[in-house]
Amino acid sequence: MIQQQFQSAGIKAKVKVLEFGAYRRLQRKGDFMVNIGGADLPPDPALTYPAHFGCQEEAVKAGERQNNRSGYCNKEVDRLLEQAQGTTVIPEIKGGKGSSYC
């Protein structure tokens, strides 16, 4: 199905289904063109964005990245992610009225 969706967009794709350990090794090295996955992330971006989108420059250079799968590095993005730490975007996260998060 995914391959057909890429094809309809004019992109020739080869889908590889991997055992999880092999999948993670390729991710850490950055040895992929497209990485599709899913996760159940908490509602507060400060808990996930820095780990997933922060540069981790040394890990990227060493081919040992943990979460920054794309290897994208931008000092301004890192600065903004750090600035956002502790900022409450959704007041209900703190247990406000009508919150579904505790």
Is the backbone of residue 98 left (phi > 0), alpha (psi -120 to 50) or beta? left
Q: Are 57 and 73 in contact (CB under 8 A)?
A: yes
Domain chopping of the chain, boundaries = 1-37, 38-102
20-51: per-residue pLDDT in tens? 889 888 888 888 888 777 677 777 777 777 87
Q: Are 18 and 37 in contact (CB under 8 A)?
A: no
Q: Is the dihedral of CA 42, 88, 90, 75 positive or negative?
A: negative
Please give the pLDDT value at position 76. 92
Q: What is the pLDDT of residue 99?
A: 43
